[in-house]
Structure 1
Amino acid sequence: DMSEYMEKFSVSRLIGAPPGYVGYEEGGQLTEKVRRKPYSVVLLDEIEKAHPDIFNILLQVLDDGLLTDGLGRKINFKNALIIMTSNIGVRDLKDFGQGVGFATKNRQSQAGDHARSVIQKALKRTFSPEFLNRIDDLITFSSLSEEDIFKIIDISMRGVHRRIEDLGYHLELSEEAKRFVAKRGFDPEFGARPLNRAIQKYLEDPIAEEMLSGRLKEGDTLLADKDEDKEKLVLSKKVTKKSSSKSTKANKSSGDSNGSEEAEDSSAKDAEA
């Protein structure tokens, strides 16, 4: 997380403190990990928040694949894949609308080209030309659609299902409930984070209240579905068919006992004869 390296002195945390300083023998957080595992993926999240001196250090990494740590050792980055993420240009894209009309492939390609051009201009205003020239490829992510958010629900709900099952309960979501949460958690400007807030508001909090109420027993299954007026989710305990299965088993056992009694009567009659 490059937001932790916003100060000038934080550069030494990456490559290690210079000789004579505290922590000189420990090595840097970046150089030491790459030295131990040279075949690795290095993710620099939100690179624009780092101090400008860190960009100068990354120049030789992106060009020669080498970096000298605080101990004077040459750390080899040639077998490492470096990925940098950034939110630069996102604010400039807020004013760009799709306009009125059908979302044809031509319009979508024009929107993608415009987004890339806006982001490239923002990158040139933030980073130096020599830094941008050492980046192999620039990938622009498209905004998430409502259908994408619907697919992400299953991924985001894995942790919720796991926590509920650890407590001894089960949860089932109907398709209408998923559509409801996806619609409430859809925001093309902020991505998938509103979905997590919608899951907490419409699912996690009501489920927690239902558990605290004492109406549930261990092993019960909660069913989340949309109500008739389609304005909120309704949690209900799923009814199992254990009682009917028990009655059928009882009938079978009674039938078997009757059959055995008839067999005993017939055997007794044969013995008397």
Structure 2
Amino acid sequence: QLDMSEYMEKFNVSRLVGSPPGYVGYEEGGQLTEKVRRNPYSVVLFDEVEKAHPDVMNMLLQILEEGKLTDSFGRQVDFRNTIILLTSNVGAERLQKGSAMGFTPPDDEEDYARMKENLTEEAKKVFRPEFLNRFDDILVFRSLGRDELTQILELELEKVRKRLAERDIHFELDSSARDLLLEKGFDPTYGARPMRRAVERYLEDPMAEEIIRGDLREGETISISTKDEKLEFTQKESSAKGEDSKVSK
């Protein structure tokens, strides 16, 4: 993966194929060409390609047209067995103004087709025709819905579970707790990124405070529900110790 925001300036473009002779990093090879030369069967992702300097586009055009690129050592690197993927946020502002961005999915296939057409038109304004003509296909992703957001939440929760498992601490969320996190992590403007912050604020931080205070110890399990629009933590006790006890709100 190559973040194109690191290649916005002309003097950074040479890092892809290697620094010229006499410059720092010459012996290290290019960040793109050296990796592909060593692993020709690779998938290379150019993230946010619209941010890249025009010289990067010229290199990509040569790769897509000729299937090869010459590095700073004069070696021709073969890209014919490499899959090239490019991501772009071109047209995002146009969608946002049209209230079609975020978690509001198109009503039907006709709306999606219209959205795809608009984004394709925006791409034609940013990228040269000979560049777009080299693509095998252009994919436009649909807006995130509740099902996709639920899957993202589960991924974030799994990260927390793994970290707590190292301390032999476990937790269980009921449906109301999940619904609350989905609500707090929803933002039609910023996409799925607020979900990470919602999990940190409403789940990780309170549990970390319980661990610091000593109310949550190794070998214990927390049951998480909701009360008054907040997560409520209840410590699950074994039958020998009696009923469950409330930890915090």
Q: Secondary structure at the match of 2:80?
A: coil
- Residue 48 of structure 1 deviates from its aligned partner by 0.9
Q: Is the Cα–Cα contact under 8 Å of residues 146 and 186 in structure 1 kept in the other structure?
A: no
Q: Distance in 2 between matches of 1:242 and 1:119?
A: 62
Find the aligned partners of 2:4 and 2:69 in 1 and give their Cα distance. Answer: 18
For residues 184 and 215 of structure 2, the distance between their equivalents in structure 1, rounded to whole angstroms, comes to: 28
Aligned counterpart, 1:262: none
Letter in 1 for 2:178: K
Give 1:95's match in structure 2, choosing from 86, 91, 97.
Answer: 97
The aligned amino acid for 2:164 is I
State the distance in 1 between where 2:41 and 2:166 align: 37
State the match for 2:70 in structure 1.
68
Q: Which residue in the other structure is 2:20 paired with?
A: 18
Q: What is the CA–CA distance in structure 1 between the aligned matches of 2:19 and 2:97, rounded to whole Å? A: 44
Bigger Cα Rg: 1
Amino acid at match of 2:20: P
* Correspondence for 2:220: 220
- The amino acid of 2:196's aligned partner reads N
Q: Provide the identity percentage.
A: 48
CA RMSD of aligned residues (A): 1.7
CA deviations on 1:170-203 (whole Å, 9 max, x unpaired) are: 1111121111101111223322111111111110
| Unaligned runs of at least 5 residues, structure 1 | 245-273
Do structure 1's residue 82 and structure 2's residue 84 form an aligned pair? Answer: yes
Kindly indicate whether the alpha-carbon contact (under 8 Å) linking 1:146 and 1:183 is maintained by their aligned counterparts in 2.
no
- Partner of residue 246, structure 2: none
Of 237, 240, 246, the residue aligned with 1:239 is 237
Instruction: Provide the residue aligned with 1:202 in structure 2.
Output: 202
Q: Indicate the larger mover: 185-194 or 6-15.
A: 185-194
Number of corresponding residues: 236
Paired residue type of 1:240: S
Question: What secondary structure, in the 3-state scheme, does the structure 2 residue paired with 1:155 have?
Answer: helix
> What do the CA deviations read for 1:18-53 (whole angstroms, capped 9, x no partner)?
233332222101000000000010011111111111
Residue 147 (structure 1) aligns with? 147
Per the alignment, residue 268 of structure 1 pairs with: none
Q: Which amino acid aligns with 2:6?
A: E
Identify the residue that residue 182 of structure 2 maps to in structure 1: 182
Q: Which has the higher strand share?
A: 2
* Distance in structure 1 (CA, Å) of the matches to 2:47 and 2:122: 17
- Code of the residue aligned with 1:71 in structure 2: it is F
Matched-pair contact (CA < 8 Å) for 1:38–1:80: yes
> For the residues of structure 1 that align with 2:19 and 2:133, how far apart are their CA atoms?
29
Matched, 1:55 2:53: no
Aligned to 1:34: 36
Mapped contact 1:8–1:51 kept (Cα < 8 A): yes
Contact 1:150 1:179 in 2 (8 A): no
For 1:54 and 1:195, the matched residues in 2 are separated by 34
Point out which structure has higher relative CO (alpha carbons under 8 A, 6+ apart): 2
Task: Return the TM-score normalized by structure 2.
Answer: 0.89
Report which of the two has the higher share of helix: 1
TM-score by length of structure 1 reads 0.82
Q: CA deviation at 1:243?
A: 4.9
